[in-house]
Amino acid sequence: MSERERDEKALEDVAVVDEPANHRFAALVGDAVAQPDYRRDGDVITLVHTEVPRALRGRGLAQALARHALEHARAHGLTVVPACPFVAAFVREHPEYAPLVAP
């Protein structure tokens, strides 16, 4: 198994939770927290910034967080404003999420 495959397998066990009081989705990996921050206004969620600690980078965690946030939006009927450059690029690369994006 390659290092990348091991990292991807490890990510399957990472729980991502919505923390509305902190305006973020959070993934706890060891002592580190990775998160996309958001603002919510009614049925619109603006994904503002995605932060992955340096020690966790390169493992696909940011992609997993972006996917989680977008799936959360889909499940709750929210319109997405991808203000975070990473999330905006992720949506461009995954056109199945384009219908969620605000015009």
Q: What are the structural domains of the chain? A: 3-100 (3.40.630.30)
Is 59 strand, coil or helix?
Answer: coil
Burial 71-97 (b: 16+ CB within 10 A, else e): ebbeeeebbbbbebebbbebbeeeeeb
User: Between these two residues, 11 and 48, which has the higher pLDDT value?
Assistant: 48
Contact 16, 68 (CB under 8 A): yes
Asked if the model's pLDDT at residue 7 lies above 50, the reply is: no
Is 2 strand, coil or helix?
Answer: coil
Structure confidence by residue, pLDDT tens digits, 84-100: 999 999 999 999 999 99
Read off the pLDDT band of 39 (50, 70, 90). very high
Mean pLDDT, residues 41-54 = 96
